[in-house]
Amino acid sequence: MRFSTSQSNFIEAFNRIAPAVPSKSTLPILSNILLQLEGNRLRMVATDLEVSVLTEIEVHGQEDGALSVPAKKIGDISRELEGLDLECWMDENNHLLMNAGAGSYKVPGISALEFPNLPEIEESAKVTLSTDKMDGFIRRLTFAVSKDELRPALTGVFFQLRPNEIRGVATDGHRLVRIVDQSFQYDGDPRELIFPVKALEMVRRNLPEEGDVEINIGANQVMIKLEDATLFSRLIEGKYPHYESVIPQNIEDRLIVGTEDLIRAVKRAAIFSNPISRQVIFKVEAEKLEITAEDIELGGQGKEVIVASYNGSPKEIGYNANYILEILKQIETDELRMDVGGTTQAAIIKPTEPAEGEDFLMLIMPVRLN
Amino acid sequence: MLTPPGKIKILSEGIANRIAAGEVVERPASVVKELIENALDAGATEILVAVKKAGFDEILVTDNGWGMDDEDLLLAFRRHATSKLDSAEDLLRITHLGFRGEALPSVASVSRVEVLTKRDDRPTGFRFKVDGGKATGPEPAATDRGSSIRVRSLFYNVPARRKFLRTPATEYNHIVNVFRKYALSYPEIKWTLKREDDTVWDFSSSDLRGRIGQMYGEGALSHIHTVEGRTGDMFIEGVVGGGELFRKSRGDQFFFINKRPFISSSLHHAVINGFGPLIHYGQFPLYVLFLRLDPEDFDVNVHPSKHEVRFRDERQAYRTVLHGIRDALGNTIRSGESPVNMPLDKTTDRSSHFKLTPQPHGRKIDGREELDLLFGNRSSSQSRESFGSQTTPVISKDYPYQQNVPKDTHSHSNQSAEHPSTEDHHDSSAQSQSDLAAPLAGKYDPHGETDRLMNSEATVHESTSDVGSVDSSQRINVWQLHRTYILSQVKSGLVVIDQHVAHERILYEKAIDAMKERPWNGQQLLFPVEVELTPDDSAMLEEIAEGLGRMGFDVEHLKGLTWQIRSFPAGIKVKNESKLLKDILRDYRNEHELRLAPEEALAASFACKAAIKKGDPLNLEEMNALIDDLFLTRYPFVCPHGRPVVINLSMKELNKLFLRE
């Protein structure tokens, strides 16, 4: 293997795949990235065995070949060579040698044969989403997934493909996000997939400015083709809970409040909440929302009053401030709508004006006030 | 408990044989002890002990009790005559002190004894003399109510025994110790101790605190914590001394059972364990602890000199003492009454003392502030000043009577109380504390949890703050080490907090509080979790469901062995609700056997299982919240299982380690 290219070309490609390199791994080879030269195409691959990212760049190729090299070392040195041209080749002892400017470097690598193969996708369905939509789904869903490794299904984002409808759902058992998009072209069989969060975050990082994203769905793997990179991900196996049944249907008590006002009020009140429970109390009555927090042990108290429109009976409901803030941050409209149920019932939070063809709702379970 | 006079009987052979044989009179102090016990049994309210030449020349014990008549006297000086035991059954119900009926004849066989005594119901008193076993009298004599027994020339006819005695100073010290024990045990009695006709102590009738004031100086009282508690039918009361009253040697540790003094290495261990890291190896707290228990539930007849006691339920005794001490210290530390020695600081100067300022209602100090307060860089002179008002100079230096006693004699006085395990304590206090905790902790295995950090890279993990978190820019001096310990810089050096046990302490107290006063709010679940339990667990859950409910767990029995969890305590990061519930049930079974009350067992199980574990990453905000909450607990330095929570490494110690002057 021997090639030369500009530092910027090389580092850009490197940065696309580097996040897939696991920060800690018991398998040393996973700390490496694969460099593979065929003609003038240099392919770079990183994987943690669940999510793999591949990218290709044009270089000036001289001799085909492949080698895996430590990601950190190659990234660190390439970053420091700004403005220079790199010339790279490998020797018979699996060393990568690099000349740049007045410097020459030697990085010990591992034979490319030891680097894991990319998964093969037996394509059974294919969907195309616009970059915007993909971004919107990922951005609003990933925050709500569970970190409980004992319930793997909840650690991913659940997608349901139906004729002309795609749904994305995420929940950790305390809050839930559901996005239903009906402006979506799909004519295949209904499918349900659970995506690992890491894969979605990698996708979002590599989303192009505009255009489409193509998702090829296999039995337990997906391949997502982006403009500059291709991502492979295992799908999470397991049964996703029947989430529709926990979405309250007939809550009539509706609060309309300014999104930014509410976020600020909750943030301020939460400063006075107990640092562990983070509990804030929403007291709703006609024309106003009062948010209070109290740390009984430390003795602090905070109270915020916001003008709001509310049509129901007065209520007092406790929430975890962190949970509610994360939810509020997903609302992009000036005002939001909160359907406030009973004290043991989830509240529904939505934008006042949903995007066209989209139904976006979030649920939060209250804290039972003893 | 006291028997009317004139009932002295001869014990049957059977009883005499059941009483372990042995020398009653080992040394002058044993004579003093026997005579004091006789006086107490005679219902005395005033007792005088006067010794000459450490008791070798003369021991005189005078009381104002019931006294004896001529018949009593004759019986009293026959071996195994006792007015206290009728039958073998009685032996099981010993509540008297000198039941053996051996005392007077034994004393009389090795000394010259003269008794002057008068019974209230008799017009005259009597004099009775025994000289080397030869009796003179009883003959009528004029005397006041009560008895006065004078023992002269002890061991004059047993030269071999004399050889084994120690120096007069040592023997005198033994006498003082005996006197102190009884004076503490019977503070309502007026006690006088004289030595060579000089009055050493003259204690007026008082209560226990009063007596401690008389004995140790009034200043000691501000460092005394009241102990009070019970486990089942075993009661404990008394006092324990805080940091100012820690000693470098034994001598001020007193146990009584039904007012009878005894020594017990295992209960001493329970006291030390109760102090946790507040005390370290080589320090001995002052304590005067009275256990009260049905006489059938313990046996004093282990050794003829009656120093040791065997309990029917040793673990109950251990728990009673341990919890008594913990509660006493916990209450005091939180209420800020008294300074306690700073944990684990091995420096001997008193700069290490801290005092928690009593806090106005509704306002508590934040954790970091408190850490600085505790481990802050107070100079020695400052802290001496601040405690000077509470400490009388005589207490902080030596015992009041010590001017009469050579120092080295202390170590002999209670040698048999030396606990074997204290011998091989490691220098590290943390280590020794966890050793100490072992008997209580039972199956508890804090490090049994899987170490998820397989590779031991020595990174110090500092995370960024969370969403919606309060501004934490002013408290950046907190780091997480190996996802196990929280390190923090304080003025005096470095503080290390074990994240798991710290959280355990916090949750334990919250859970107790939730069950007793303020129920915990429950974070409700979108998807109620169904749990299948074993029949045992299901039955146990029925028992504790209400307590769990007050802690924020909303559990409901669905059918058969299926339960549903609908909410769990708000603010607890629960990864898996059903596993947590099962873990709690399993742990509760063990804890239940070790703890006093079901609530405590439940709180301990919950705290242990729900607390963050070794290996859990914490961000800055979480670490600060943990520290804050820790110092809001009543007893921040010891986890519910007795392990230390906070360790301080002072700059002084660090400098020493780095050989820096």
Q: What ipTM describes this predicted complex?
A: 0.72
Domain membership flag for residue A120: no
Domain membership flag for residue A370: no
Nearest Cβ partner of A365 from B363, B521, B526?
A: B526
* Coil/strand/helix, residue B27: coil
The confidence score (pLDDT) of residue A155 equals 92
- Nearest chain A Cα distance for residue B582, angstroms: 14
- Domain extent, residue A108, equals 2-114
Average pLDDT of the residues in A331-354: 92
Task: Grade residue B640 by pLDDT with cuts at 50, 70 and 90.
Answer: confident
C-alpha neighbours within 13 Å on the C-beta side of residue B429: 26
Average pLDDT, chain B: 70
Picking from B504, B520, B521, B531 by the largest number of A CB atoms within 10 A of its own CB, the best residue to mutate is B521
The confidence score (pLDDT) of residue B7 equals 53
- Total domains, chain A: 3
Count of A-B CB contacts under 8 Å: 106
Report DSSP state, residue A152.
G
- Per residue in B270-306, pLDDT tens? 888 777 666 666 678 889 999 988 887 887 665 555 5
Do A256 and A204 lie in a common domain? no
Average pLDDT of the residues in B77-87: 53
Do A110 and A138 lie in a common domain? no
- For residue A204, the domain's CATH number is 3.10.150.10
Do A109 and A29 lie in a common domain? yes
Nearest Cβ partner of A368 from B364, B522, B572?
A: B522
The confidence score (pLDDT) of residue A303 equals 93
* Coil/strand/helix, residue A200: helix
Domain membership flag for residue A9: yes
Choose the weakest-confidence range: A60-64, B387-391, B525-529: B387-391
Domain membership flag for residue A266: yes
Q: Which residues of B touch A322 (CB under 8 A)?
A: 466-468
Task: Tell me if B522 and A367 make a contact (CB, 8 A cut-off).
Answer: yes
Do A224 and A275 lie in a common domain? no
Cβ–Cβ under 8 Å, residues A298 and B366: yes
The confidence score (pLDDT) of residue B367 equals 56
- Nearest chain A Cα distance for residue B362, angstroms: 5
Task: Tell me if A275 and B454 make a contact (CB, 8 A cut-off).
Answer: no
Taking the alpha carbons of B438, B440, B446, B449 in that order, is the dihedral positive or negative? positive
The confidence score (pLDDT) of residue B547 equals 86
Report DSSP state, residue B123.
S
Nearest Cβ partner of A365 from B468, B525, B576?
A: B525
Among A58, A79, A114, residue at a domain's last position: A114
Do A240 and A255 lie in a common domain? no
Of all residues in chain B, what percent carry a pLDDT higher than 70?
65
Nearest Cβ partner of A277 from B362, B470, B521?
A: B521
* B628 touching A (Cβ < 8 Å): yes
The confidence score (pLDDT) of residue A366 equals 93
H-run or E-run covering A291: strand A288-294
Domain membership flag for residue A369: no
Cβ–Cβ under 8 Å, residues B325 and B340: no
Do A90 and A155 lie in a common domain? no
- Per residue in A173-195, pLDDT tens? 889 999 999 887 787 888 999 99
The confidence score (pLDDT) of residue B372 equals 57
- Nearest chain B Cα distance for residue A292, angstroms: 15
Do A263 and A360 lie in a common domain? yes
- Nearest chain A Cα distance for residue B545, angstroms: 15
The structure's pTM equals 0.56
Choose the weakest-confidence range: A196-205, B442-451, B528-537: B442-451
- Nearest chain B Cα distance for residue A335, angstroms: 20
Residues A52, A202: Cα–Cα separation, whole Å: 9
Domain membership flag for residue A119: no
Among A90, A114, A138, residue at a domain's last position: A114
Return the amino acid letter for A290.
E
Picking from B459, B463, B503, B527 by the largest number of A CB atoms within 10 A of its own CB, the best residue to mutate is B527
> Which of residues B355 and A318 earns the better pLDDT score?
A318
Among A191, A214, A245, residue at a domain's last position: A245
Task: Grade residue B564 by pLDDT with cuts at 50, 70 and 90.
Answer: very high
The confidence score (pLDDT) of residue B389 equals 35
- Per residue in B156-210, pLDDT tens? 777 766 766 777 778 888 888 889 889 998 999 999 998 888 888 888 888 888 8
Residues A234, A119: Cα–Cα separation, whole Å: 9
Cβ–Cβ under 8 Å, residues B75 and B51: no
Nearest Cβ partner of A270 from B468, B527, B550?
A: B468
The confidence score (pLDDT) of residue B402 equals 35
Average pLDDT of the residues in A142-160: 89
- Per residue in A10-32, pLDDT tens? 999 999 999 999 987 778 899 99
Do A167 and A264 lie in a common domain? no
The confidence score (pLDDT) of residue B31 equals 86
Of all residues in chain B, what percent carry a pLDDT higher than 90?
6
* Residue pointed to by tokens 């337990």: A220
Residue B377, pLDDT above cutoff 80: no
- Nearest chain B Cα distance for residue A62, angstroms: 41
DSSP string, B201-256: EEEPS--HHHHHHHHH-GGGGGGEEEEEEEETTEEEEEEEE-GGG-BSSSSSEEEE
Choose the weakest-confidence range: A136-145, A266-275, B98-107, B535-544: B98-107
Nearest Cβ partner of B521 from A246, A363, A370?
A: A370
Do A202 and A257 lie in a common domain? no
Do A237 and A254 lie in a common domain? no
Residue B215, pLDDT above cutoff 90: no
